[in-house]
Amino acid sequence: MKESLYRTLQLLEEADGPVSGEVMAGRLGITRSAVWKQIRELRDQGYGIESSQKEGYRLVSPSRRLLPYSIRKHLKTRVIGQRMLYLPTTPSTNDVARWLTTGGDLDRLHGTIVIAEEQTGGVGRLGRAWVSPEGGIWTTIVLTPTIPIDHVFMVTMAGAIAIARAIRREFGLGAMIKWPNDVLIGDKKVAGLLLELDAEADRINFCLLGIGIDANFDPSVLSPELQQGITTLRAELDEEVDRARLLARVLREFERHYDLLEAQEYEAIVREWRSLSSTLDHHVRVRTLMKSFDGEAIDIDEYGALLVRKENGRIERVIAGDLFHT
């Protein structure tokens, strides 16, 4: 949002009642017709603004969009999300974030988030399509971690912890993490993470952490097959959630856990992950590229790999694959 528009919005928000065009023009140091243009732009961005010839303009409802301005009001981070790029629609925020890194100053980009109101070509793990209608939270964080590359999966773990904790804190729902990258409520998925990596042999150039949270849409927009395994926050709570506030909380929780990661406090993250895990102690079926087997998920290690005790007593270390709770 442009600085001038932001000032107009702030003026309306802080006013007790309607403000005349003349007073606004005077306070903002612009003409009355410029005020009118700004009001039109704010309405285009979804703000409800009443106007009457006698009294002037009055803000009656905030925008329902996930605008940077609304997120910033709640944001308590140092770096993560301090720069935001908002798009009403885009194929995938991960693609936009990758595009930003092309020729961009990576150090400056660290912590930048790309947000979209809807994605037309959202991507999930293993190249699967990720349905991303309006009302969800679709965002990608650009990161330049300095951790050893073999710990990079822990970035996803920090993201999953952040989402589960934020949902618990904001709404009191019992969100849990399913290895490797799902956040569940009950046995239904409410959020997923996708980590894309750009690295050389032993060093990470950057990574893109895509976060999808099924917030304010009706699950009936999904195919019947998807509906079986997916829930939304709105469906769980029977009311719309404040997406800006939730995302700000997710970013704050993420920054806290990302800082632990950078400080090589791996055990602290593993401990937190364990306490939020719905996978541990569960009977699971693991499907990797090479094989498929059943067993009991007994732990994760400090790289985020899942340890599964097979029926013959042998322990398998799983670093990637599909997992089913059985």
| Residue 135 in contact with ligand BTN, rule: CB under 6 A | no
- Which range touches ligand BTN (CB under 6 A), out of 27-35, 136-144, 167-175, 225-233? 136-144
Residue type, 53: Q
| Residue 124 in contact with ligand BTN, rule: CB under 6 A | yes
Q: Which of residues 169-198 bind ligand BTN (CB under 6 A)?
A: 181-182, 192-194
- Which range touches ligand BTN (CB under 6 A), out of 18-26, 130-138, 198-206, 267-275? 130-138
Q: How far is the CB of 308 from ligand BTN (least distance, A)?
A: 20
- Which range touches ligand BTN (CB under 6 A), out of 115-123, 242-250, 269-277, 302-310? 115-123
Q: How far is the CB of 184 from ligand BTN (least distance, A)?
A: 11
- When the beta carbons of 8 and 232 are compared against ligand BTN, the nearer one is 232
Question: Which residues pair with residue 182 across a beta bridge?
Answer: 178, 192
Question: Which residues pair with residue 176 across a beta bridge?
Answer: 184
Q: How far is the CB of 293 from ligand BTN (least distance, A)?
A: 22
Q: How far is the CB of 182 from ligand BTN (least distance, A)?
A: 6
How many residues interact with ligand BTN (rule CB under 6 A)? 22
What is the 8-class DSSP label of residue 187?
T
- Which range touches ligand BTN (CB under 6 A), out of 19-27, 64-72, 116-124, 317-325? 116-124
| Residue 122 in contact with ligand BTN, rule: CB under 6 A | yes
Q: Which of 214, 211, 247 is nearest to 233 (CA)?
A: 214
Q: Which of residues 201-230 bind ligand BTN (CB under 6 A)?
A: 210-212
Contact 198, 132 (CB under 8 A): no
Q: How far is the CB of 45 from ligand BTN (least distance, A)?
A: 21
CA distance 302 to 9: 47
Q: How far is the CB of 126 from ligand BTN (least distance, A)?
A: 7
CA distance 131 to 95: 15
CA distance 132 to 91: 10
| Residue 130 in contact with ligand BTN, rule: CB under 6 A | yes
- When the beta carbons of 56 and 180 are compared against ligand BTN, the nearer one is 180
Q: Which of residues 92-111 bind ligand BTN (CB under 6 A)?
A: 92-94
Contact pick of 38, 70, 112, 119 for ligand BTN (by CB under 6 A): 119
Q: How far is the CB of 96 from ligand BTN (least distance, A)?
A: 9
- When the beta carbons of 60 and 126 are compared against ligand BTN, the nearer one is 126
Start-end of H helices in the chain: 3-14, 21-28, 32-44, 68-74, 93-101, 106-109, 153-171, 224-229, 233-237, 243-262, 266-275
- When the beta carbons of 126 and 298 are compared against ligand BTN, the nearer one is 126
User: Sheet harboring 322-325: ordered strands across?
Assistant: 315-318, 306-310, 292-300, 283-287, 322-325
CA 104 to chain centre: 22
In b/e form, how buried is each residue of 3-34, taking b as 16+ CB within 10 angstroms? eebebbbebbeebeebbbbeebbeebebeeeb
Residues 6+ positions from 34 with CB-CB distance below 8 Å: 25, 28
Question: Which residues pair with residue 300 across a beta bridge?
Answer: 306
- When the beta carbons of 302 and 322 are compared against ligand BTN, the nearer one is 322
Contact 163, 157 (CB under 8 A): no
Q: Which positions touch ligand BTN (CB under 6 A)?
A: 92-94, 119, 122-125, 128, 130, 132, 138-140, 181-182, 192-194, 210-212
